[in-house]
Structure 1
Amino acid sequence: MCLLRAKIQDVFNEPACEQNRGKDAKARKEGCSKPLTPGAAAGGCAFDGAKIVLQPITDVAHLIHAPLACEGNSWDNRGAASSGPTLWRTSFTTDLTELEVVMGQGERKLFKAIREIKEAYGPPAIFVYPTCVTALIGDDIEAVCKRAAEKFGLLVVPVNAPGFVGSKNLGNKLAGEALLEHVIGTVEPDDAGPYDINILGEFNLSGEFWLVKPLLDRLGIRVRACIPGDARYLDIASAHRARAAMMVCSTALINLARKMEQRWGIPFFEGSFYGITDTSEALRQISQLLVKKGADPEILGRTEALIAEEEAIAWKKLAAYRPRLEGKRVLLNTGGVKSWSVVHALMEIGIEIVGTSVKKSTVEDKQRIKQILKDDNHIFDQMAPRELYAMLSEHKADIMLSGGRTQFIALKAKTPWLDINQERQHPYAGYHGMVELVRQIDLAIHNPIWRQVREPAPWDCQPAVRQELPRTKSETATLHVVQEFAGTTAGDFGDC
């Protein structure tokens, strides 16, 4: 537990974070996230964050050392896609019971589970995740993993990120620390070259990195490791021989990028593959970093030629959508890198941004948004569901882009909605991804269903006056009895 506390404090003291550098020593030790309330989900715990970062490593086994409930939703891990292995989709847990917790049999059961995975699947590595329960009862995860690695001849990585230590974002960073300590640098590649790069903080959601990788392939740039999207254990183990790195989501793995630069001299920059301009700029910066590290300067010319070709194709496709979408108002309720990269992408085709959330964005992200929008009035940290509904129901936005948790607010307000977060079904990265994003926005806004649902419901309409049918003698007698009993006249009943 003392070792875990030291790691957490080291993550809080992040020199690469401009906001952190501006704090005094006492404030820096408190970290960036508010402490979790026991029993509250708080949008995800540290265990959840660690598993989000590591589970997309597709050919390793991910073993949760905890009661069964801690392994809640493993399948697909938020839509990260794999081009080959599917072992990462299999859920492994030690499934501790109350008796095993009380009798202290957790470590023995963990060792047995590692052996069973080794014999049944033979993975190159096993990642072991303790949770609140196993951390609190004092199971020595590191000792068990070390002994199992010696016994079974494979890498067993302890990921010390139990849920109670902090937020999901802290778990992201602790996962990066586990990779640095146990994986990266453990394998020496025999094919290292001057055009090798790492992509950090890219999760390959809906396979969108596959829209970017062909661009790098055409430039002769090899992705040594994409961490974690569609990654393999050996790729990450040899990632220390890359010449440059691009950081896609700094809030998750900035500590990993900084420490790889310190240990192995791998320079990095933060960029985005969302939008035409940002994709082009990312390709330029990658080429420039490689040239600084010794690559042939001719790659700069090839990069500009590729950018010109791809931009021309993309703008030609987007021209068909501009008349239909120019002037449309978008409310963006997301965070992180998407809070500014998607904003810039949409403004390129004339879409107006009426608001964007910066709840999960860094100080650098917020500065970029201010430079793009030129107005702080369209930036909000967090908007309550009631406020979101009021804004949409008053038709201040034509569509809302957000995650699945707020889709029902838009649907209640009878406003088009598009999933922009990790559960999305379409890839939006790169030049082709930008065209796809605009296409999906166009389909959502101009879907004829919205005109229908906005019309008054049939039961809210004034019913048409129908001609009264002649009544029989018995029906007339019954009606008079009812009217006399209720003290009404025939006219009070109308057509009901």
Structure 2
Amino acid sequence: MSSLRAKIQDVFNEPACENNRGKDAKARKEGCSKPLTPGAAAGGCAFDGAKIVLQPIADVAHLVHGPLACEGNSWDNRGAASSGPTLWRTSFTTDLTELDVVMGQGERKLFKAIREIKEAYGPPAIFVYSTCVTALIGDDIEAVCKRAAAKFDLAVVPVNAPGFVGSKNLGNKLAGEALLEHVIGAVEPDDAGPYDINILGEFNLSGEFWLVKPLLDRLGIRVRACIPGDARYLDIAGAHRARAAMMVCSTALINLARKMDERWDIPLFEGSFYGITDTSDALRNIAELLVKQGADPEILGRTEALIAEEEAIAWKKLAAYRPRLEGKRVLLNTGGVKSWSVVHALMEIGIEIVGTSVKKSTVEDKERIKQILKNDNHMFEQMAPRELYAMLSERKADILLSGGRTQFIALKAKTPWLDINQERQHPYAGYHGMVELVRQIDLAIHNPIWRQVREPAPWDCQPAVRQELPRTKNKTATLHAVQEFAGTTAGNFGEC
């Protein structure tokens, strides 16, 4: 536990964090995350955050050392995609029970589980995650992993991020520490070249990185490791030989990016693949960093030619949507890099941003939003569900872009909604991804169902005046009376 405490303090003192540098020594030790309240939803624990960062490594077995519910809580909680191995989607857990805790069988059960995975699947590595229960009872997973690695000639990586130590964001960083300590640098690649890069913080949600990688391939740039999206263990183990790095989500792996720069001289920049302008800027920055690291300057010209070609294609496709979407109002309830990258992307085609959340955004993210929107009036730290519903029901926004947790607020307000968080079904990165995002927004806003659900229900259309049918013994007279009754009451119903 002393080594875990030291790692946590090291993460809290992250010098690359602009917000952290502005604090005094006492405030810096408390970290950036709000303290967790026992029994309250805190947006994920440290274990959950570590599992999110590491699970997309596709050819690795992910073994959770703890009760069954911990694995059930975190399994497949992001829409990451793999181009090959499916082992990462297999759930492994030691399934500790009360009897195991009382009898002290935790470490023995963990060693046995590692052996069974090795014999049944033969993965290149096994990642072992500690949980609250196993950390509290004192199971030394690092010692067990070290012994198992020697016994089975296998890379066994301990991930010390029990849930009670902090928030999901802290778990992200502890996962980066585990990669830095046990994986990166473990293998020396024999094919390192001047055009090798790392992409950090890219999760390949819905396979969207596959829309970006072909652009890099056309430039002759090789992604040595994309961490963690669609990653392989050996690629990450040799990531220290990359010449440059792009950081997509700084709040998740900023500590990993900084330390790789310090240890192996891998310069980095923070960028985004959301939106046409941001994608072009990211390609330019990658090329410029590689040239600074010794690559042939001719790559700069090839990059500009590729950007011009792809931008022309994308703008031509987007031109069809501009008349239908220009002036439409969008409310974003997301965070992190999407709080500014998606804003910029949508404004490029004339969509108005009425608000964007900055709950999970860094200081740099907020500054970018101010520069893009020209003011901070449209930024909100947190919007209560009641306020969000009132804003949507009053038609102050034409569509809500958010995660799945707020979709029902939009549906109750009879407002179009589109998922742009990790559960989304469509890729939005790169030039083609931007076109797909705009297409999905257009489909959502102009779906005829919204006009129908906003109309009054048939049972709300009650007659304003009640009249009785006149009585008569003659059938012909009765028929005339019915027709006259229908004519006089037709205008007495409420509008529908």
CA apart distance, 1:484: 31
1:65 aligns to 2:56 (yes or no): no
State the TM-score, normalizing by the size of structure 1.
0.94
- Alpha-carbon distance, 1:85 to partner: 0.1
SS in 2 for 1:35: coil
Q: How big is the shift at 1:272? A: 0.2
Note the C-alpha offset of 1:72: 1.5
User: Whole-Å Cα distance in 1 between the matches of residues 486 and 446 of structure 2?
Assistant: 52
| CA deviation vs aligned residue, 1:227-271 (integer Å, no higher than 9, x gap) | 000000000000000000000000000000000000000000000
Q: Answer whether contact 1:63 1:92 (CA < 8 A) is retained.
A: yes
Confirm or deny: 8 A CA contact 1:483 1:489 kept in the other structure: no
CA–CA distance in structure 2, aligned partners of residues 136 and 173 of structure 1? 21
Structure 1, 386-395 or 18-27: larger mean CA deviation: 18-27
Mapped partners of 2:229, 2:486: distance in 1 = 73
Distance 1:135 1:411 in 2: 42
Provide TM-score, normalisation by structure 2: 0.94
Distance apart, 1:494 and its partner CA: 17
- Pick closer, same or farther for the CA change 1:145–1:480 going to 2, 3 Å: farther
Q: Percent same amino acid among aligned pairs? A: 93
CA-CA distance at 1:2 after TM superposition: 0.7
How far did residue 180 of structure 1 move?
0.2
Q: Whole-Å Cα distance in 2 between the matches of residues 378 and 495 of structure 1?
A: 37
SS of the counterpart of 2:395? coil
Decide which moves more: 129-138 or 483-492: 483-492
Between 68-77 and 371-380, report the one with greater CA deviation. 68-77
1:200 aligns with 2:200: yes
8 Å contact kept, 1:402–1:417: yes
Instruction: Report the Cα distance in structure 2 between the residues aligned to 1:479 and 1:162, rounded to whole angstroms.
Output: 81
- Give, in angstroms, the shift of residue 474 of structure 1: 20
Deviation at 1:102, TM superposition (A): 1.0
Aligned-pair CA distance for 1:469: 6.7
Asked if 2 retains the 8 angstrom alpha-carbon contact of 1:276 and 1:345, the reply is: yes
Distance 1:489 1:226 in 2: 70
* Equivalence for 1:419: 419
Contact 1:243 1:267 in 2 (8 A): yes
Whether the 8 Å contact between 1:198 and 1:223 is mirrored in structure 2 is: yes
| 2:305 alignment partner, SS class | helix
Large movers: runs of 4+ above 4 Å: 464-496
Inter-CA distance 486–114: structure 2 relative to 1 (3 Å threshold): same
Higher mean C-alpha displacement, 83-92 vs 64-73: 64-73
Which is further off, 1-10 or 36-45? Answer: 36-45
Looking at structure 2, the residues matched to 2 and 474 of structure 1 have their Cα atoms a distance apart, in angstroms, of 100
Aligned CA distance change for structure 1 residues 326 and 10 (closer, same or farther; 3 Å) = same
| C-alpha distance in 2 between matches for 1:474 and 1:415 | 55
Alignment partner, residue 340 of structure 2:
340
What is the DSSP-based 3-state SS (H/G/I as helix, E as strand, rest coil) of the residue aligned with 1:11? helix
> What do the CA deviations read for 1:431-462 (whole angstroms, capped 9, x no partner)?
00000000000000000000000000112112
Moved more, 452-461 or 475-484: 475-484
Residue 484 and residue 236 in structure 1: after superposition, are their counterparts in 2 closer, same or farther (change >3 A)?
closer
Instruction: Compute the displacement of 1:37 (Å).
Output: 1.6
CA displacement at 1:317 relative to structure 2: 0.2
Q: What's the CA shift string for 1:12-55, capped at 9, x where partnerless?
A: 01111111111111111110001212233311000000000000
- Contact between 1:74 and 1:91, CA under 8 Å: does it hold in 2? no
Post-superposition Cα deviations, 1:207-231, rounded to whole Å, max 9, x if no partner, equal 0000000000000000000000000
Q: Distance in 2 between matches of 1:200 and 1:175?
A: 13
Q: Deviations over 1:128-176 (max 9, x none)?
A: 0010000000001110000000101101111000000000000000000
- Partner of 2:64: helix, strand, or coil? strand
> Please, which moves more after superposition, 66-75 or 175-184?
66-75
From the superposition, tell whether residues 478 and 181 of structure 1 become closer, same or farther in structure 2 (CA, over 3 Å). Answer: farther
User: Cα distance 1:470–1:2, how it changes in 2: closer, same or farther (>3 A)?
Assistant: same
Instruction: Specify every segment of 5 or more residues in structure 2 that has no aligned partner in the other structure, as ranges.
Output: none
- Distance in 2 of aligned mates of 1:105 and 1:450: 58
CA contact (8 A) 2:463 2:492 kept: no
Change (3 A) 1:426 1:487: closer
More off after superposition, 460-469 vs 357-366: 460-469
User: Which residue in the other structure is 2:112 paired with?
Assistant: 112
Match of 1:78, SS? Answer: coil
2:48–2:74 Cα contact (<8 Å) kept: no
Kept after mapping to 1: 8 A contact 2:400/2:418: yes
Alpha-carbon distance between aligned partners in 1 of 2:347 and 2:494, rounded to the nearest angstrom: 57
Question: CA separation of 1:475/1:136 partners in 2, compared to 1, >3 Å: closer, same or farther?
Answer: farther
| Counterpart-to-counterpart distance in 1, 2:217 and 2:430 | 14
* 1:486 CA drift (Å): 29
CA separation in 2, counterparts of 1:6 and 1:395?
Answer: 51
Q: Is the 8 A contact 1:176 1:253 kept in 2?
A: yes
Q: CA deviation at 1:76?
A: 3.5
The residue number in structure 2 matching 1:446 is: 446
CA distance in 1, matches of 2:196, 2:495: 80
Structure 1 residue 77 displacement after superposition: 3.5
The CA deviation string for residues 174-210 of structure 1, in whole angstroms up to 9 with x for no partner, is 0000000000001010100000000000000000000
Distance 2:346 2:471 in 1: 65
> Shift of residue 466 of structure 1?
8.7
Q: Deviations over 1:289-330 (max 9, x none)?
A: 000000000000000000000000000000000000000000
CA offsets per residue over residues 49-99 of structure 1, 9 Å max, x none? 000000000000000000111112455331100000000000000000101
Give the secondary structure class of the aligned counterpart of 1:377: coil
1:325-379 deviation per Cα after TM superposition (whole angstroms, max 9, x unaligned): 0000000000000000000000000000000000000000000000000121100
Q: Distance in 2 between the 1:166 and 1:114 partners?
A: 27
Between 66-75 and 391-400, report the one with greater CA deviation: 66-75
- Report the Cα offset of residue 468 of structure 1: 5.6
CA drift of 1:463 comes to 3.7
CA separation in 2, counterparts of 1:128 and 1:491? Answer: 73
Distance, in Å, in 2 between the alignment partners of 1:81 and 1:419 is 17
Query: Corresponding residue for 1:52?
Result: 52
In 2, distance between residues paired with 1:490 and 1:392?
35
The whole-number CA distance in structure 2 between the counterparts of 1:171 and 1:81 is 21
Name the CA distance, whole Å, in 2 between partners of 1:436 and 1:286: 24
CA gap 1:112/1:495 in 2 versus in 1, 3 angstroms: closer
**Aligned pairs, number:** 496
Distance change in 2, residues 1:255/1:461 (3 Å): same
In the alignment, what sits opposite 1:362?
362
Give the superposition deviation at 1:473.
13
Q: Distance in 2 between matches of 1:63 and 1:472?
A: 85
Say whether the 8 Å CA contact 2:331–2:353 is kept in structure 1: yes
1:221-300 equivalent positions in 2, closer than 5 A: 221-300=221-300
* Contact 1:339–1:356 under 8 Å retained in 2: yes
TM-superposed CA distance for 1:478, in Å, is: 23
CA contact (8 A) 2:187 2:238 kept: yes
Deviation at 1:490, TM superposition (A): 22
Taking a change above 3 Å as real, the CA distance of residues 484 and 173 of structure 1, as seen in their structure-2 partners, is same
3-state secondary structure, aligned to 1:142: helix
